[in-house]
């Protein structure tokens, strides 16, 4: 068995860090920052993981400058931590061994749009909302929507998905090609604009989801979709979590082309009503959306209403007005902050698992029982059309008993998902927090291969150390 990577990810000496920062300041001037507040902003602040700031933050503006940063850090064997918008929930941007945070936010150009081929090329710092604003007049949109206005480079690095994944897939499906800077400072191009290829190893898929541990993604070629002619969204309450999940399963199994189907448990609905000034029925409910022509959207909505009624759900209220849809989806995207308001002053930890769709109801109901037994406030939301759901635990981090119960709850959720042939994370990624589940999910052989790939590409362990594999 290949040894863990901990020994290779040692904190560099202060001399090495000082030399690297001095070299970066000589090269980039005032685009290198060492102030404490900014460094802390570039570390994790949405998790239970302690804030672990880098020693410096640098702001490159193109791939060549990212290469220069990585080469200088590699020379001094100082860690490099890629940073997009900082919306990660698993500690991806923390710097547990110090080092340099590479903030890609100034690499924010849309480089090309090929409307006739339904693709575009963007720099890593472009956010999904900025891209969609750029595309709107061309009748196109980028459908992957994780909720936060994340950078597309970060979304690729974490293999993000979100509310539209049931119809449009995830970042794994959306990235055609990319440019990445490897740990030695070399820039490579993977993939092409062709929709398929049999040419060699799929390096694009290797880097998508690698969480910055194999290289820094600087440019991405993305699939696009046409803006639908008609969109309808609506809500449907259910008497129980199980009934809502069963309706979801039947909807997917019947081949109904739903664009989004989101579950909110009664705790999350109560939070959304208070936070977003809504009057939703405070029972488990599904928030759904259909895309297509006017006639097709109407037919899909009617068919969904029939499926929901068969499971005891309803009434299904749907609308085509953009303002009503926007208000509903904004409330869903504000679910994190709404849930936080249920226990002011608590620390939140958001965790997710994903299971085969046929096991969804069983998995969610089991998690609800675990939450009740823990005594914690922990609302559930989910992109249930693809078997993925989230739980937001609200805990006092100063109470060891609560922290222990929260950790045990996450462990039980993951164990159940793995027993159902699912995964410990459907879209959040591993980061720092879920490293402990990697062996159970992948087994020793696959994990050893991952470590071997990491060592081959990053022999000195400088690229986002302490993430994905053994910290």
How far, CA to CA in Å, does 117 sit from each of 167, 199, 204, 224?
19, 21, 19, 9
The pLDDT-based confidence of 25 (bands split at 50, 70, 90) is: very high
405 in any annotated domain: yes
User: Do residues 222 and 314 both lie within one domain?
Assistant: no
Q: Taking residues 163-189, what's their average pLDDT?
A: 96
Instruction: List the CATH number of the domain containing 355.
Output: 3.40.462.10
Q: Is residue 295 domain-shared with residue 221, that is, in the same domain?
A: no
288 CB neighbour count, 10 Å cutoff: 29
Q: In the prediction, which pLDDT does 4 show?
A: 62
292 and 358 both lie in a single domain? yes
| Residue 322: burial class (beta carbons within 10 Å; 0-12, 13-18, 19+) | exposed
Q: What is the pTM (predicted TM-score) of this model? A: 0.94
Per-residue confidence (pLDDT) for residue 349, from 0 to 100: 87
Range of the domain at 69: 13-105
The whole-number pLDDT of residue 320 equals 64
Q: Do 91 and 175 have their domain in common?
A: no
The pLDDT tens digits for 247-279 are: 999 999 999 999 999 999 999 999 999 999 999
pLDDT tens digit sequence for 181-216? 999 999 999 999 999 999 999 999 999 999 999 999
Q: Are residues 160 and 89 in the same domain?
A: no
- Domain membership of residue 74 (yes or no) is yes
Residue 1 pLDDT: 57
**Domain stops at, among 105, 123, 148:** 105
Same domain as 200, residue 222: yes
Q: Are residues 298 and 408 in the same domain?
A: yes
Q: pLDDT at position 7, please?
A: 47
- Tracing tokens 């999910």 back to the chain, one arrives at 441
**Residue 26 is part of a domain; what is its CATH number?**
3.30.43.10
Which pLDDT tens digit goes with each residue over 348-385? 888 999 999 999 999 999 999 999 999 999 999 999 99
Q: What is the pLDDT of residue 66?
A: 98
Judge whether 448 lies within some domain: no
Give the pLDDT confidence score for residue 237 in this predicted structure. Answer: 97
Q: Tell me which residue has tokens 């590699």.
A: 74
Spatial separation of the C-alpha atoms in residues 75 and 40, rounded to whole Å: 25
Q: Are 358 and 249 in contact (CB under 8 A)?
A: yes
Q: What pLDDT score does 308 carry?
A: 96
**Over 50: is that where the pLDDT of 172 sits?**
yes
Q: Find the range with the poorest average confidence among 22-36, 317-331, 433-447.
A: 317-331
Residue 230: pLDDT above 80? yes
Is 294 a domain residue?
A: yes
Same domain, 324 and 407: yes
Residues 154, 250 within the same domain: no
Q: Mark which of 105, 128, 157 sits at the end of a domain.
A: 105
- What pLDDT is recorded for position 48? 75
pLDDT, position 365: 96
Local confidence band at 155 (pLDDT 50, 70, 90 cut-offs):
very high
Long-range contacts formed by 297-304: CB under 8 A, 24+ apart: 297/230, 297/231, 297/232, 298/232, 300/232, 300/256, 300/257, 300/258, 301/232, 301/234, 303/254, 303/256, 304/236, 304/251, 304/256, 304/258
Mean pLDDT of 167-173: 94
**Cα separation of 207 and 201, whole Å?**
12
Q: What percent of the chain has pLDDT over 70?
A: 97
CATH number at residue 128: 3.30.465.10
Q: Within a domain: residue 368?
A: yes
If asked whether residues 391 and 259 sit together in one domain, one would say yes
- Mean pLDDT, residues 22-34 taken together: 97
Residue 95 has pLDDT above 70, yes or no: yes
Paired strand residues for 33: 57
Smallest Cα–Cα separation from 338: which of 377, 292, 366, 302? 377
Asked if the model's pLDDT at residue 389 lies above 80, the reply is yes
Q: Are residues 115 and 233 in the same domain?
A: no
Question: How many separate domains does the chain show?
Answer: 3
**Is residue 216 located within the same domain as residue 237?**
no
Q: Tell me, what's the pLDDT at 318?
A: 81
Do the domain assignments include residue 433? no
Q: Is residue 61 part of a domain?
A: yes
Do 27 and 66 touch, CB atoms closer than 8 A?
no
pLDDT computed for residue 322 by the predictor = 79
pLDDT tens digits, 58-88: 999 999 999 999 999 999 999 999 999 999 8
């Amino acid at each position: 068995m290949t040894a863990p990577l901990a020994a290779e990810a040692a904190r560099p000496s202060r001399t090495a860090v000082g030399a690297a920062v001095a070299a970066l300041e000589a090269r980039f001037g005032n685009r290198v920052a060492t102030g404490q507040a900014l460094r802390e902003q570039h570390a994790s602040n949405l998790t239970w993981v302690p804030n672990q700031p880098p020693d410096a933050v640098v702001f490159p503006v193109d791939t060549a400058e990212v290469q220069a940063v990585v080469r200088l850090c590699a020379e001094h064997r100082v860690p490099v931590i890629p940073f997009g918008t900082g919306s990660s929930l698993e500690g991806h941007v923390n710097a547990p061994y110090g080092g340099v945070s590479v903030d890609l936010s100034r690499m924010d150009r849309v480089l090309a749009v090929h409307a006739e081929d339904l693709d575009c090329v963007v720099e890593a710092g472009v956010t999904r909302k900025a891209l969609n604003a750029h595309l709107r007049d061309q009748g196109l949109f980028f459908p992957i929507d994780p909720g936060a206005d994340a950078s597309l480079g970060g979304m690729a690095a974490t293999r993000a998905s979100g509310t539209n994944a049931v119809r449009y897939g995830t970042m794994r499906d959306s990235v055609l090609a990319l440019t990445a800077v490897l740990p030695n400072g070399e820039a490579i191009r993977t993939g092409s604009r062709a929709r398929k290829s049999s040419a060699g190893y799929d390096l694009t898929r290797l880097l998508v989801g690698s969480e910055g541990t194999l290289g820094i993604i600087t440019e991405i070629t993305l699939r696009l979709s046409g803006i639908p002619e008609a969109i309808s969204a609506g809500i449907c309450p259910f008497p129980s979590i199980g009934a809502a999940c069963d309706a979801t399963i039947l909807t997917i199994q019947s081949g109904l082309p739903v664009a989004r189907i989101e579950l909110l448990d009664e705790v999350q609905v109560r939070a959304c009503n208070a936070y977003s000034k809504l009057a939703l029925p405070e029972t488990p409910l599904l928030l759904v959306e259909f895309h297509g022509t006017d006639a097709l959207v109407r037919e899909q909505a009617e068919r969904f209403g029939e499926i929901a009624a068969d499971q005891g759900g309803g009434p299904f209220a749907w609308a085509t007005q953009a303002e009503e849809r926007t208000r509903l989806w904004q409330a869903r995207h504000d679910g994190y902050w709404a849930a936080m308001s249920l226990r002011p002053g608590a620390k939140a930890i958001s965790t997710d698992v994903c299971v085969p769709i046929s096991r969804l109801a069983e998995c969610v109901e089991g998690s609800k029982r675990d939450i009740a037994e823990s005594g914690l406030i922990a609302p559930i939301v989910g992109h249930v059309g693809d078997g993925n759901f989230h739980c937001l635990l609200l805990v006092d981090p100063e109470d060891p008993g609560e922290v222990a119960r929260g950790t045990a709850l996450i462990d039980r959720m993951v164990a159940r998902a793995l027993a159902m042939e699912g995964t410990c994370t459907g879209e959040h990624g591993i980061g720092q927090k879920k490293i402990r589940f990697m062996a159970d999910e992948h087994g020793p052989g696959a994990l050893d291969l991952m470590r071997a790939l990491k060592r081959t590409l990053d022999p000195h362990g400088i690229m986002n150390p302490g993430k994905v594999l053994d910290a």
